[in-house]
Amino acid sequence: MPVDIQVYTSGSGNWTKPVGAIGVRVILIGAGGSGGGGGESGAGVVATGGGGGGGACRHEIFFLTSDLGVTEAYSVGAGAAGGAGGVSGAGSNGTAGGNSTFGGTTVSIHTAYGGGGGGGGSNSATTGAGGAGGGMGGAGGDAAGATAGTAGANGGAGGNSPNGSVGGSGGSSSAAAGTAGTGAPIAFLGAGGGGHGGGKTTGDLYVAGAGGGGTPPNQILGTIILTGCGSQGGAASTGAAGSVGIPGELGRCGGGGGGGGSSATTAGAGGAGGFPGGGAGGGGASITAGTAGAGGAGANGVVIVITDLEGAR
C-alpha cells in the first residue's frame, strides 16, 4: 500500500490531507530541556556542575480520514540554548523544551510535551538539579538550582532515579560534594534526559560529567539493546551529544546529551540533546581563575504524519 510521509522538524503550519487518503498515523515528539551551566568557586571551595535537561514525551495517534479536516495545524516544539556558566558564582538554569502539537482545525489538539530545563550548578555544596521528563499528561518541570523538576504525568522526575519512565526521562543532578555523580536513566517510550556536569571538590579535584539517558530499547532476537545514550565528557572535555533518533516512520526519540567535565582552566560544555526530543547535558564547574561550562542545547521535537493511500496492494 502506498504511503505519504510528511516530517516537520521546526516551525508551524498546516498539513494538507493527500488525495486518496484512507488512514492517518501521527507521531509527535516534544523538545528536550537544555542543561544548566556549571558553577564557579574559589580555591578550596566546592563548585557543582549544571543539571541535565529532561527528555521529551512521544505521543502517537491513529485517525480515520473522516476525522480530519482538509488541513490540520501542526507546531513543532523548539529546543533552547543551555544556561551560561557561572562567573565567580552559580551557573544559570536551563530552559524547558517546547511542546509539539497536531490538530485544532477539525480534531482536537493533540500534544507531546517537552522536557524541563536543568538547574545551574553552584559555588557551594549545592547540587545543580535535573530537569524533569515530559509525560503523556503534562510538560516536564524546570529545575531551579538544587530543586529538581517535577515530572509531567508518566514522565521521569528530575534527579538520579535509577528507574526509567514511560515518557521522557529526567536529567540527572550533580553531586553536592563536587564528586562524580550518576548518569540519567533510560526512557522506555520517550526521549533521554541529559547527564549533569562534573564538579570541583574542596581539594580542587576535577571530575568528568555524567552520561545522558538512553532511548527506547530495540528488541532483537530476545536481546534488548539500548540506544541513543550520550557519553559523559571526561575532565575538561565537552560532553558528547546524545545520539540522533530516527525521525522517519519509526519515530524513534533522541538520547540525552552527556555532561561536560570540570576543569581549572576551561570546563566542558554539556552535550546537546539528540534529535528529536533529547535533553541536554549540564556544563562543568571551574575555579574562579578558570571558565565554567555552559549547558547544552535541548533538541527540537518533530511532527510526523504518515498517510495510507488507496492503490494497488
Is residue 165 within 8 Å of 113, Cβ to Cβ? no
pLDDT in tens, 73-84: 999 999 999 999
Identify the band that residue 253 occupies on the pLDDT scale cut at 50, 70 and 90.
confident
The pLDDT of residue 238 is 52
Higher pLDDT, 99 or 310: 99
The percentage of residues in the chain with a pLDDT greater than 90, rounded to a whole number, is 67
**Pairwise CA distance, residues 232 & 282, whole Å:** 10
CA distances from 182 to 145, 194, 238 (A): 17, 11, 17
**Sign of torsion over alpha carbons 241, 293, 196, 192:** negative
pLDDT in tens, 204-240: 999 988 888 876 554 444 444 444 433 334 444 454 5
pLDDT in tens, 32-85: 999 999 999 999 999 999 999 999 999 999 999 999 999 999 999 999 999 999
Is residue 194 within 8 Å of 118, Cβ to Cβ? yes
The pLDDT mean for the chain works out to: 87
Residue with cell 562524580: 180
Is residue 254 within 8 Å of 192, Cβ to Cβ? yes
The percentage of residues in the chain with a pLDDT greater than 70, rounded to a whole number, is 86
Phi and psi torsions of 101, nearest 5°: -135, 160
pLDDT in tens, 188-202: 788 989 999 999 999
The pLDDT of residue 258 is 87
Is residue 100 within 8 Å of 306, Cβ to Cβ? no
pLDDT in tens, 263-309: 999 999 998 998 899 999 999 999 999 999 999 999 999 999 999 88
pLDDT in tens, 83-141: 999 999 999 999 999 999 999 999 999 999 999 999 999 999 999 999 999 998 999 99
Give percent helix, percent strand, percent coil of the chain, each to the nearest 5: 0, 25, 75
CA distances from 151 to 75, 109, 133, 167 (A): 23, 22, 6, 9
**Pairwise CA distance, residues 295 & 300, whole Å:** 16
> Model-level pTM?
0.91
Is residue 115 within 8 Å of 130, Cβ to Cβ? no
**Pairwise CA distance, residues 313 & 301, whole Å:** 33
Q: For residue 30, give the nearest of 70, 74, 69 by alpha carbon.
A: 74
The pLDDT of residue 18 is 94
